């Protein structure tokens, strides 16, 4: 990511943020291309003698929401930081096709005194009542047009599915091939002979009694990959054996409104129709697999209610994936049944030993290590004292190099300011033209922004090193209170307490630990040193007081 530019403090220059967007379906339309929009808006800025601060481009992205448009979010952040005075777009619907988002954007513009202009819809100002009404009317029209397009597209795709046609996407066993038709091109499924054999193997393995993870593990060991060229998991195997595509059916609209409802938007009556493509497996094999899957899907009632206190706090020493909860049931020689708890690599659990090893850690052992290590640090003052002293020593050691760097950057920034003033004097004397001035100002601005960003980072590091040493007494008080609460809290509260203060537990192979990384900030400090918290309720463990606390810091114990 390029360095973030700083606020414009020069009243002689109007910095303009150009925003351009094109969705996938608009890529081929005349006048909608990104380059066409940018070229038009650049020319307008030059004609008006304004400086293009930055071009914000969302290519191939729908105007439905703000959340999935990184360039627009960056534009809004720069508006908040006062870096631009004007936003220019080729057409209003480029900024958004959703009325609520348009109103939010307009509110942000007015709040920070930023002017909005559209090259196509001219002569309206968002800081007047009439301008706001015009802005909103255009927004309503744009949203109506988008919704109409979406409805027409959905209707067309549903009809294609009813006719047995493929609506796109990659699927193991088939290749998507484009063929010429009367009105252009169409996509059809052709059997991929090699992948089809793999699909038949998966169905046969499941029909023979193999489990989802067992199948995934064997396929990964044999070097097979999914269609996107990734290792198999139990989820990908389940998706394959439940897809009627392989018996020649087209299934469509299984989930509705995915962007809003995600997996909860299940359609009870999806479209299932005879497809135009060739089936890969027989109806007999399909029926056998579905019957077996239905039986296995009926799970036994859960008899184990144990809690895993360290969920999400440990990572696999080999692949870096999170260690997740795992348990086994054993029967002793005397007939007693016991449950053993473990943490295992999530990649191993989902995809098998081809992807990673289990790197099993006994849950009781890990949880005992964490609680005993914290207790040791609390009960042996010298241990904690040495840890904090070492951290503070390293912080102070970095002060001199940072001070020299900040001083050097400051001198360079003054040089850039002098150069900018020289270019303005040349412009006022008609020695250089406007285009030359803009080019040189942009070059200086880029250098200035990069230097200023590094200067800010160095100053923050410097302030952290010299003004806020890790407070030994405060750390000791927090950990003492933490240990006291941990010993008396119910099991669920223990888990929340650990998640509050433990950032990560560093695990090595062979069930060994390198240390526990603890994170301290104002929330943690208030939790344990603020109003007297109760360990009987999770909410009570997060009481805040009005006391001010130091900045965030971490310790590895």
Catalytic residue list:
23
The rounded distance, in Å, linking the Cα atoms of 531 and 544 is 6
The rounded distance, in Å, linking the Cα atoms of 19 and 87 is 7
The rounded distance, in Å, linking the Cα atoms of 280 and 175 is 13
The rounded distance, in Å, linking the Cα atoms of 540 and 527 is 9
Query: Which tokens in the block code for residue 146?
Result: 């988008």
Which residues share a beta bridge with 323? 345
**Which residue, 465, 430, 454, 526, is CA-closest to 6?**
454
**CB-count exposure of residue 81 (10 Å: 0-12, 13-18, 19+):** middle
Q: What is the 3-state secondary structure (H, E, C) of 24-42?
A: HHHCCCCCCCHHHHHHHHH
Q: What is the 3-state secondary structure (H, E, C) of 240-260?
A: HHCCHHHHCEEEECCECCHHH
Report phi then psi at 218, rounded to 5. -65, -40
Q: How many CB atoms lie within 10 A of CB 551?
A: 12
The rounded distance, in Å, linking the Cα atoms of 291 and 300 is 18
**DSSP of 421-487:** HHHHHHHHTTSS-HHHHHHHHHHHHHHHHHHHHHHHHHHHHHHHHHH----HHHHHHHHHHHHHHHH
The rounded distance, in Å, linking the Cα atoms of 166 and 3 is 45
With beta carbons less than 8 A apart as the criterion, state whether 328 and 342 touch. Answer: yes
With beta carbons less than 8 A apart as the criterion, state whether 46 and 114 touch. Answer: no
With beta carbons less than 8 A apart as the criterion, state whether 304 and 327 touch. Answer: yes
72: Cβ contacts below 8 Å, ≥ 6 apart: 19, 21, 56, 58, 66, 95, 96
Sign of CA dihedral 290, 291, 296, 300: positive
Which helix (H) or strand (E) element contains residue 520? strand 512-520
């Amino acid at each position: 990511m390029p360095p973030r530019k700083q606020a414009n403090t020069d009243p002689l220059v109007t910095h303009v943020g150009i925003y351009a967007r094109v969705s996938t379906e608009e890529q081929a339309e005349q006048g909608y291309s990104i380059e066409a929009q940018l070229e038009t808006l650049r020319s307008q800025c030059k004609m008006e003698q304004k400086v293009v601060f930055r071009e914000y481009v969302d290519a191939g992205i729908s105007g439905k929401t703000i959340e999935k448009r990184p360039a627009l979010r960056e534009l809004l952040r720069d508006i908040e930081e006062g870096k631009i005075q004007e936003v220019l777009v080729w057409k209003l619907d480029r900024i958004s096709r959703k009325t609520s988002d348009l109103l939010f954007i307009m509110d942000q513009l007015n709040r920070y005194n930023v002017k909005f202009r559209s090259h196509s819809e001219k002569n309206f100002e968002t800081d007047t009542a009439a301008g706001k009404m015009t802005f909103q009317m255009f927004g309503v029209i744009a949203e109506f047009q988008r919704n109409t397009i979406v409805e027409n597209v959905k209707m067309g795709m549903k009809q294609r599915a009813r006719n047995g046609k493929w609506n796109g996407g990659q699927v193991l066993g088939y290749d998507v091939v484009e063929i010429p038709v009367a009105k252009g091109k169409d996509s059809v499924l052709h059997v991929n002979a090699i992948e089809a054999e793999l699909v038949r193997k998966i169905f046969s393995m499941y029909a023979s009694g193999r489990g989802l993870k067992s199948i995934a593990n064997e396929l990964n060991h044999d070097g097979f990959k999914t269609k996107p060229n990734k290792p198999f998991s139990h989820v990908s195997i389940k998706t394959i054996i439940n897809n009627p595509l392989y018996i020649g059916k087209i299934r469509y609209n299984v989930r509705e409104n995915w962007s809003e409802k995600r997996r909860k938007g299940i359609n009870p009556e999806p479209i299932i129709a005879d497809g135009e493509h060739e089936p890969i497996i027989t109806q007999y094999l399909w029926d056998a697999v579905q019957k077996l899957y239905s039986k296995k899907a009926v799970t036994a009632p859960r008899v184990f209610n144990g809690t895993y206190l360290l969920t999400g706090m440990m990572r696999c020493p080999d692949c870096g994936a999170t260690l997740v909860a795992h348990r086994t049931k054993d029967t002793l020689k005397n007939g007693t049944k016991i449950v053993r708890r473990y943490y295992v690599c999530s990649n191993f659990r989902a995809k098998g030993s081809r992807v990673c090893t289990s790197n099993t850690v006994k849950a009781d052992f890990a949880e005992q290590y964490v609680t005993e290590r914290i207790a040791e640090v609390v009960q042996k003052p010298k241990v904690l004292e040495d840890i904090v002293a070492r951290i503070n020593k390293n912080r102070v050691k970095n002060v001199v190099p940072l001070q020299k760097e900040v001083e050097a950057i400051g001198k360079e920034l003054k040089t850039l300011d002098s150069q900018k003033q020289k270019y303005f004097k040349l412009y006022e004397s008609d020695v250089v033209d406007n285009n030359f001035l803009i080019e040189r100002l942009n070059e200086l601005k880029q250098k200035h922004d990069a230097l200023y960003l590094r200067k800010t980072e160095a100053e923050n590091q410097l302030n952290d090193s010299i003004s806020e040493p890790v407070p030994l007494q405060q750390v000791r008080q927090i950990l003492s209170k933490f240990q006291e609460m941990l010993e008396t809290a119910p099991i669920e509260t223990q888990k929340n307490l650990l998640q509050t203060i433990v950032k990560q537990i560093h695990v090595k192979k062979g069930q060994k630990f390198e240390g526990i990384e603890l994170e301290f900030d104002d929330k943690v400090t208030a939790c344990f040193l603020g109003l007297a918290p109760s360990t009987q309720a999770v909410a009570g463990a997060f009481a805040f007081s009005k006391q001010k606390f130091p900045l965030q810091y971490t310790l590895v114990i």
